[in-house]
Amino acid sequence: MKQVYLLASGDLRESANQTCWPAQAAMEDALRIALSNAGAESIRAHAFNPDRGHGFIASQREGMDVFRDMSPDAAIIVAQSAWQYSHHVLPGLIHHNGPILTVANWSGQWPGLVGMLNLNGSLTKAGVPYATLWSEDFTDDFFLDGLRTWLQTDALQHQVNHVRDDFEVPNYLVNVAQGLAEKIRRDKLILGVFDEGCMGMFNAIIPDHLLHPTGVFKERLSQSALYYETTQVSEYEGRDVLEWLEARGMQFEFGEDDATELTRNQVVWQGRMYVAAVRMADKFCCDAIGIQYQQGLKDLLPASDLVEGLLNNSDRPPILDTEGREIKPGQPIIHFNEVDECSGLDALLTNRVQATLGLPVETTLHDVRWGDEDRDGDAGFVWVFEISGATPPAHHVNGFEGSVGYRQPPMYFRLGGSTLAGVAKPGSIVWSRIFIEGDALHMDIGTGQALALSKRETQRRLDATTPQWPIMHAQLDGIDRDKFMARHKANHVNVVYANNAKSALDAALCRAALARALGIKVHLCGI
């Protein structure tokens, strides 16, 4: 009987590990039954810790110790039903010789799918062979057939015939792209990076030797500097930001208890951080900035997500520099959430293409959180794209008036802070992801639609995930659920709106040509 070792990478935040453990335990029980029925013995590689109330690997050192005591040739399943920090297990997986399977539960409850996709992207960047599977209850034929194949062959291949590497771009779009590429390489662009490696996202760090040929360079900034500058912004200026948002029609669900409710003081601090971020981006001439927040600022300031959503909006609170000049009026300060540099580079290219083509420039990243059939209509399978409160209001139905600030969940954000929640407006979108494979930059890009689902269905999806966060109901052209999961190399996906399906296709092809011109390997997905 083949022996398989089960591992569960976890969060650094013990509150999250404890809250998510029941879901993880239920998933592992179902997985053990599936393995047994397939003729394999499952062995948990690390024990449940009753003192901590969970059985997750909660630090890099713990993960190293688990692998130290395991055979380097053992068959491994990394099972995820919650968000995880990939660097907890990545050192051991990099030096592991045995077969590796990553598995996630198909559920929106906790970001298990998000965690697995991050680990998959990290393994891809590290050059570690792995297979991957997902299932709602681990009894479906797709999962069981895949599991048996992996147990028998130590490998598993999924269908990814929606990916096309050989394609042509119309000359008029190539000419636009060539002009943009020449300008980027001549003028150079700066990514302002407020500390790398948010929450162990190895896949989100672009090595300098891959970034520099594109004409983009990093300004390495410290979150301690951002914290200091935030404290130097007056409470009056922070309050101005809040009042500006309220005047625009944004609603806040305020309470009195800082520990569990959103307070005005939390939002004032977020306003002060916004002012500081805009001024620092200007001071260092950054074309885009990324704030790590987790873990560096979590014990110092409320969540940065409201700040990040505002930065990505063209219509945002005006900020003056020390000489009284307004900083980039009517333009976003491009921000890449969780300092995901792959998304940052993508957002820069997106901004330049969209502006040149006369299309909306507001871009953001989402977690690929989950997906399900539309249960209150006939839309079929629809993805839940969701991020921790950081979408630009321009993406929401009714803009600021359709945006709501909720307190960030305490298990992730001890000091609270407002989200920038809303439902994404219906319309044509371009989605994309830059990732690293074979020591080279790659881009997957495609088109799709943000859909308007019923209020009841929208609420069901919010309740099944994190209701305080902004949501997009997304369908991707030419790609079904399993093909997307098999191919996607990250927890994040970048999205931007177009005016219609034709302009979305033009924008996608133009950005593909621009990426090619900058030395990025481009793959059209579903188009």
Summarised one tens digit per residue, pLDDT across range 284-318 is 999 999 999 988 899 999 999 999 999 999 999 99
Report the alpha-carbon distance of residue 220 to residue 125 in Å, rounded. Answer: 22
Query: In this structure, are strands 288-291 and 189-194 parallel, antiparallel, or unpaired?
Result: parallel
Q: Looking at residues 48-59, what average pLDDT do you find? A: 97
Report the alpha-carbon distance of residue 353 to residue 515 in Å, rounded. Answer: 11
Query: In this structure, are strands 251-252 and 404-405 parallel, antiparallel, or unpaired?
Result: parallel
Report the alpha-carbon distance of residue 205 to residue 201 in Å, rounded. Answer: 7
Report the alpha-carbon distance of residue 109 to residue 370 in Å, rounded. Answer: 9
pLDDT of residue 521 exceeding 90, the answer is yes
Which pTM value belongs to this model?
Answer: 0.97
- Domain positions in the chain: 2-153, 171-525
Please say whether the beta carbons of 309 and 389 come within 8 A. yes
CA dihedral sign of residues 520, 192, 494, 370: positive
Q: What is the pLDDT of residue 300?
A: 97
**433 exposed, middle or buried (CB, 10 Å; 0-12, 13-18, 19+)?**
buried
Q: Which helix (H) or strand (E) holds 510?
A: helix 501-517
Q: What is the pLDDT of residue 322?
A: 85
DSSP 87: G
Report the alpha-carbon distance of residue 454 to residue 426 in Å, rounded. Answer: 12
Amino acid at site 520: I
Which CATH fold would you assign to the domain 2-153?
Rossmann fold (3.40.50)
Orientation of helix 264-283 relative to helix 235-247, angle to 10°: 100
Q: Looking at residues 375-394, what average pLDDT do you find? A: 96
The structural architecture, per CATH, of the domain 171-525 is: Alpha-Beta Barrel (3.20)
| pLDDT band for position 390 (cuts 50, 70, 90) | confident
Report the alpha-carbon distance of residue 351 to residue 188 in Å, rounded. Answer: 15
Q: Looking at residues 161-172, what average pLDDT do you find? A: 97
Report the alpha-carbon distance of residue 289 to residue 281 in Å, rounded. Answer: 7
Q: Is 260 left (phi over 0), alpha (psi -120 to 50) or beta?
A: alpha
Amino acid at site 230: T
pLDDT tens across 320-366, in order? 998 999 999 999 999 999 999 999 999 999 999 999 999 999 999 99
Query: Degrees (nearest 5) of the Cα angle 518, 519, 523?
Result: 105
Q: Looking at residues 206-235, what average pLDDT do you find? A: 98
Residues 6+ apart with CB under 8 A from 499: 359, 360, 428
Longest Cα–Cα distance of the chain, Å, equals: 74
Residues 6+ apart with CB under 8 A from 224: 296
pLDDT tens across 82-97, in order? 999 999 999 999 999 9
On average, the pLDDT of the chain sits at 97
